[in-house]
């Protein structure tokens, strides 16, 4: 018998016969998709766990009733789902959801790829794995659903509904079409500027989602590359909040409402209980120190993700979970340079990871916001780092390869060039001056030595940094390199001109000395007057062709 259409009652509450989608049964046999009858009418939708008629009677008006309550003896309509479909006449029966596959499986739950036939879309449904009844595990599932449903942010996966599926608690959420961060890292080593920049952008987006959660008093406590999803259209989502907990002291005072869960679920977290993934755990988490867990616990987790990106292994890479937990409790992490000493890893990202992975929470970034600021700063400066030089120390030296340039922030340095053994001072340098940029662009050996006169603090710019900044714009790279080559050619021409001018000046002085020497000018006297070695004076004389040297070692005009 066909179900009667639900009535909209004038003068009383307006009711639609709509039931929770998460409470519908799945068609596990995957029948052929047949979403409409031959006569064009939509198929009816069957609910697995329909509430009793008595439960529905006070709220669902019967046909012909005059008010909000059903008429005496009237039978309320059978429950159906789908706000639009509930208004359409139908007589057939079919399930709304069809399982198309499994997306993943963890210790307690499985995530299924499901077709919502009423709304014509794919969704993801997280279902508690079948097994012996465990009230605590079921409550943890429900706690995750309650927390996640209240976190509405572009970088946190949206929840559509929650309830039960075939008797097991379940949550319906957006199906993310994309890959995990783990999969992305397999194809993107952080040894190229483009990959480093993209990775930093992904981490900034993760920080945005976590920062929002922290402001509402929620910490994730299970951050790892597998729990970060990258959508097909550039979306970044923090997934799997099954280990999430509440920290009242973190709640923002800027008008943000705290996340609230049922009191019975708050009791699931007790001192000594260890939740999360051992290979990525912060020490306080591995020790079950509930009172010490706060936003800095997630700072550690994000540092662990960066560490994996740098080293291809987690901070506590033991296969045995107990050994991993023991290592996490100690908080000892091998430096990335020890694991990959010859790799071209970005120093700035290493520094951020190691600070986030400090065993003492007080030595980490104070918040996810501070970590985000460090990442943004690293991206903004292109990985430029500070360097300090003591008086007398060389910033760069002649003939060495030009792999680094320096932007002076404080202190004073002197630039000079060796010319025939003599030190020719080219000028002094101070804050705002740049050192070594020509060789950096042209690839030629340095032609100038720069020495610190006082303590010098400078920003260190590498060739990789420059490539990172201009790699995305080929025309910019071409212009910069052309200018550098032109400047280098000009500098070489200027140096040649200076050498010729110095020779001309020296020869003029030799002529003047010879005019006052009747018996010729001893070469040693000329060398002393010019402040040059004897050999250099002899080379100058030979080059000029103006003088001869007699048997007594005296210069004579030709």
Q: Catalogue the active-site residues.
A: 222
How wide is the angle at C-alpha 247 spanned by C-alphas 242 and 251, nearest 5°? 115
* Spatial CA neighbour of 433 closest among 455, 454, 415: 415
- Which has the closest alpha carbon to 274: 226, 352, 320, 222? 222
CA geometry: angle 44, 71, 50, nearest 5 deg: 35
For residue 301, give Cα distances in angstroms to 207, 224, 305, 338, 355.
11, 7, 6, 21, 12
Give me the residue label for tokens 């997280």. 126
**3-class SS at 315?**
coil
Q: Check: CB of residue 440 under 8 Å from CB of residue 477.
A: no
- How far is Cα 303 from Cα 186, in angstroms, rounded to an integer? 18
Contact 157, 271 (CB under 8 A): no
Q: Is 90 in contact with 43 (CB distance < 8 Å)?
A: yes
Residue ranges of E strands in 433-489: 434-435, 449-452, 456-462
Q: Please give the backbone phi and psi of residue 290, each rounded to the nearest 5 degrees, phi first.
A: -60, -40
Token pair recorded at residue 180: 């995990």
| Rounded CA separation 303/294 (Å) | 15
DSSP state of 45: B
């Amino acid at each position: 018998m066909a179900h009667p259409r639900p009535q909209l009652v004038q003068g009383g509450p307006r009711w639609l016969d709509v039931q929770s989608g998460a409470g519908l049964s799945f068609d596990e046999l995957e029948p052929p998709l047949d979403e409409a009858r031959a006569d064009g009418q939509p198929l009816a939708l069957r609910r697995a766990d329909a509430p009793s008629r008595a439960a529905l009677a006070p709220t669902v008006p019967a046909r012909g009733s005059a008010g909000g309550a059903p008429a005496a003896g009237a039978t309320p309509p059978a429950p159906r789902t789908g706000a639009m479909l509930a208004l359409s006449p139908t007589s057939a029966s079919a399930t709304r959801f069809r399982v198309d596959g499994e997306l993943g499986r963890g210790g307690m739950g499985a995530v299924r790829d499901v077709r919502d036939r009423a709304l014509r879309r794919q969704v993801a449904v997280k279902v508690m794995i079948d097994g012996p009844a465990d009230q605590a595990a079921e409550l943890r599932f429900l706690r995750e659903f309650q927390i996640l449903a209240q976190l509405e942010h572009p970088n946190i996966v949206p929840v559509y509904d929650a309830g039960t599926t075939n008797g097991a608690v379940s949550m319906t959420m957006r199906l993310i079409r994309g890959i995990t961060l783990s999969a992305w890292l397999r194809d993107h080593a952080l040894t190229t500027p483009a990959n480093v920049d993209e990775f930093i952008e992904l981490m900034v987006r993760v920080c945005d989602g976590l920062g929002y959660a922290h402001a509402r008093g929620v910490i994730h406590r299970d951050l790892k590359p597998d729990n970060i999803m990258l959508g097909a259209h550039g979306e970044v989502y923090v997934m799997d909040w099954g280990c999430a907990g509440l920290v009242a002291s973190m709640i923002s005072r800027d008008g943000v409402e705290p996340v609230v869960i049922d009191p019975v679920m708050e009791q699931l977290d007790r001192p000594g209980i260890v939740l999360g993934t051992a290979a990525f755990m912060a020490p306080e988490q591995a020790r079950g120190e509930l009172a010490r867990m706060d936003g800095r616990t997630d700072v550690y987790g994000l540092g662990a993700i960066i560490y994996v990106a740098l080293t291809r292994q987690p901070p506590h890479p033991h296969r045995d979970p107990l050994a991993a937990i023991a290592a996490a409790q100690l908080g000892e992490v091998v430096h990335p340079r020890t694991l990959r000493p010859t790799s071209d890893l970005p120093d700035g990202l290493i520094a951020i990871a190691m600070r986030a992975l400090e065993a003492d929470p007080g030595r980490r970034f104070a918040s996810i916001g501070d970590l985000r600021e460090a990442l943004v700063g690293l991206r903004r400066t292109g990985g430029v780092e500070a360097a300090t030089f003591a008086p007398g120390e060389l910033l760069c030296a002649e003939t060495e390869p030009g792999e680094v340039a320096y932007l002076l922030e404080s202190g004073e340095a002197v630039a000079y060039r060796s010319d025939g053994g003599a030190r020719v001072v080219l000028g002094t340098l101070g804050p705002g001056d740049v050192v070594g940029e020509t060789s950096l662009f042209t690839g030629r050996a340095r032609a100038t030595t720069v020495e610190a006169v006082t303590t010098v603090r400078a920003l260190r710019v590498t060739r990789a940094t420059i490539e990172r900044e201009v790699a995305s714009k080929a025309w910019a790279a071409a212009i910069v390199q052309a200018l550098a080559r032109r400047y280098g050619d000009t500098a070489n021409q200027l140096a040649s001109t200076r050498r010729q001018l110095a020779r001309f000046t020296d020869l003029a002085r030799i002529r003047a000395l010879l005019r006052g020497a009747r018996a010729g000018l001893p070469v040693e006297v000329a060398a002393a007057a010019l402040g040059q070695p004897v050999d250099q004076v002899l080379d100058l004389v030979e080059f000029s062709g103006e003088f001869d040297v007699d048997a007594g070692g005296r210069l004579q005009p030709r």
